[in-house]
Structures are given as C-alpha cells and as structure tokens.
C-alpha cells in the first residue's frame, strides 16, 4: 500500500443506513462508533418519527458532522420500508457500498471494515454478517430465541434453496450497483423477513454472496421490536416467495448482478 493510499480514510464511498425507532439511548454512541470505524463513510439515519426524540438527536449530530445525514419519516411503517427508503437516498447520493445495520449495538461497528473488504476487493456483491458460519455466534439469548432464529434461517434456506447460513440477520454490505439492480418495488416484507427477501432476490439475480462471521449481542438499551407477528410473517412470506417461483412469477435466475448493470464497477 502506498503512502497516499494509506492516507485515504476507511469507508470512502460507503453509506451506512441506520433505521431508528425510539433509539434515543443508543443513537449518539452508535453513530460515533460507526464513524470511528469508517471515518470516510457517510451515516444515514432513517428515523420513523420516534416519539422519544431520536430524530432530534439525529438532527443535532448532522448539524455537527457533515458525514451524518437524516431521513425523517412521518410514521413507523416497518423495518423493510425504512431500509428501502434509505437505500434510495444512499444510491442517489452515489454510494459505492451500502451497509445496513441495527442501531441497538447488536451489530458491532468494529466489524465494519471486515464487512466491506470483500466488496472493495471485488470478490463479493453482498456480504452477510453471519451468526451461523464458523467463527460466528450469539450472546445474551435464551434457548427459545436461539431456536427460533436458527430455525428461521434453516427453514428459509431449505425452502428457497439458498446458500448463506444466516438469512434472518440484518448486518449486510451491498455493492452499490448490485443493490440498485435488485427490484425493490415488489418487496412485500415490512418486517425482519425483509432480510430474507432481499438476499433471495439478489441470489436469484446471480449476486456473489459471502458471509463474514460476527458475534451478535442483545441490545444494550431500549426495547426489542421482535414479536410473534413478525415470526409468522416470515414463514408466510418465505412460502409465498417459493410458490410464486414455482408458478413462474418469481425473480429470474442469473440476471444483472454478475454483469451489465450490477457487474463489477
């Protein structure tokens, strides 16, 4: 590496999309950690009208640091919808890499350089921070939640015929052109199953997907958004995706993700 290359701050061209809803206790600290790990990156906070003042904190951070931007949404419409909105803003802003992660410290910002490395070196179009690949793991969860999470990934992997081991996790790094090529208008998932659906769509387009081991930790503060409804939604959407494909209405295999609009930059 030349002296000029080493002087370039890590994360140039990378946008981190961070959806928030009632994350006032976490936002300031996680924002500092993200920008510390990727000093050349851009942090986009997508706030769904949090009543606890999260949006105001985001505005204050943006006023103090040009690397922070804020997208205010008027109401809580689901994690998937917040991500889709943020993806559009990041891609319109010229993002070469788009990171998606949680604001509650369950995803460690220190792993961000490892997450973007396979995209930067041209070996992956989508990187998944994986709890279920060798070297990954989960802390602070009871046996019930472990079974539900691991079982959900195994179920989706089996039904949809996908390779990645962690399909329900939300810590991902996308190559910008690949993300832009994934059709987002038809995404039905408003909750955590959004993670499965987007990986499924990218995989069917021929995207190169790899996994980086991470240790997932339960949130430091605030309240979990997980619910029984979200679990049921995941099962139904996975089955629906497979049925659509069997009926010839699913995304085509091999599309633009490894050439054309989503090929190497």
SS3 letters across the chain: CCHHHHHCCCCCCEEEEEEECCCCCCHHHHHHHHHHHCCCCEEEEEECCCCCCHHHHHHHHHHHCCCEEEEECCCCCCHHHHHHHHHHHHHHCCCCEEEECCCCCCCCHHHHHHHHHHHHCCCCCEEEEECCCCCCEEECCCHHHHHHHHHHHHHHHHHHCCCCCCCCCCCEEEEHHHHHHCCCCCCCCCCCCHHHHHHHHHHHCCCCEEEEECEEECCCCCCCCCCHHHHHHHHHHHHHHHHHHHCCCCCCCCCCCCCHHHCCC
Can you give the pLDDT at residue 77? 83
- Token output for 10: 């890590």
Sorted by sequence, the CB contacts under 8 Å of residue 115 that are 6+ apart come out as: 99, 127, 129, 171, 172, 173, 212
Long-range contacts of 62-70 (CB under 8 A, 24+ apart): 65/35, 67/35, 67/41, 67/42, 67/43, 68/31, 68/35, 68/42, 68/43, 69/42, 69/43, 69/44, 69/45, 69/93, 70/44, 70/45
Q: Mind listing the pLDDT tens digit for each residue in 176-193?
A: 999 999 988 778 766 678
CATH number of 9-262: 3.90.550.10
pTM summary value: 0.87
Q: How confident is the prediction along the chain (265 residues), in pLDDT tens digits per residue?
A: 455 455 788 899 999 999 999 999 999 999 999 999 999 999 999 999 999 999 999 999 999 999 999 999 998 888 899 999 999 999 999 999 999 999 999 999 999 999 999 999 999 999 999 999 999 998 877 787 788 878 888 999 999 999 999 998 999 999 999 999 998 877 876 667 889 999 999 999 999 999 999 999 876 555 555 556 767 777 888 998 999 898 887 775 554 444 333 332 2
Q: Distance between CA 36 and CA 28 in Å, rounded?
A: 12
Q: Distance between CA 1 and CA 10 in Å, rounded?
A: 13
What's the longest Cα–Cα distance across the chain? 56
Q: Mind listing the pLDDT tens digit for each residue in 116-166?
A: 999 999 999 999 999 999 999 988 777 877 888 788 889 999 999 999 999
List residues bridging with 217 in a β-sheet: 139
Measured torsion, CA atoms of residues 18, 209, 111, 98, in degrees rounded to the nearest 10: -30
Q: Distance between CA 147 and CA 142 in Å, rounded?
A: 9
Can you give the pLDDT at residue 189? 62
Domain extent listing, the chain: 9-262
Can you give the pLDDT at residue 37? 98
Can you give the pLDDT at residue 262? 35
Can you give the pLDDT at residue 4? 47
């Amino acid at each position: 590496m030349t002296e000029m290359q080493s002087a370039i701050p890590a994360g140039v061209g990378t946008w981190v999309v961070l959806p928030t809803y009632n994350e006032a206790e976490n936002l300031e600290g996680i924002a500092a950690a993200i920008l510390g790990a990727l000093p050349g990156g851009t942090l986009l906070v997508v706030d769904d009208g949090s009543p606890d003042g999260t949006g105001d904190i985001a505005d204050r951070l943006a006023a103090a640091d040009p690397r922070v931007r804020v997208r205010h949404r008027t109401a809580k419409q689901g994690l998937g919808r917040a991500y889709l909105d943020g993806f559009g803003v990041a891609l319109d802003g010229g993002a070469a890499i788009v990171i998606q992660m949680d604001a509650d410290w369950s995803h460690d910002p220190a792993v961000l350089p490892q997450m973007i490395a396979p995209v930067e070196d041209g070996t992956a179009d989508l990187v998944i921070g994986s709890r279920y690949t060798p070297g990954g793991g989960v802390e602070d969860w009871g046996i019930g939640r472990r079974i539900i999470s691991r079982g959900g990934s195994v179920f989706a992997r089996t039904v949809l015929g996908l390779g990645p081991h962690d399909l329900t996790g939300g810590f991902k790094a996308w190559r910008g052109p690949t993300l832009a090529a994934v059709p987002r208008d038809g995404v039905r998932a408003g909750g955590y199953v959004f993670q499965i659906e987007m990986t499924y769509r990218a995989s069917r387009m021929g995207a190169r997907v790899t996994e980086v081991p991470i240790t997932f930790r339960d949130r430091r503060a605030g309240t979990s958004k997980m619910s029984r409804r979200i679990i049921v939604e995941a099962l139904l959407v996975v089955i629906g995706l497979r049925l659509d494909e069997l009926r010839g209405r699913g995304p085509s295999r091999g599309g633009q993700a490894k050439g054309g609009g989503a090929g190497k930059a």
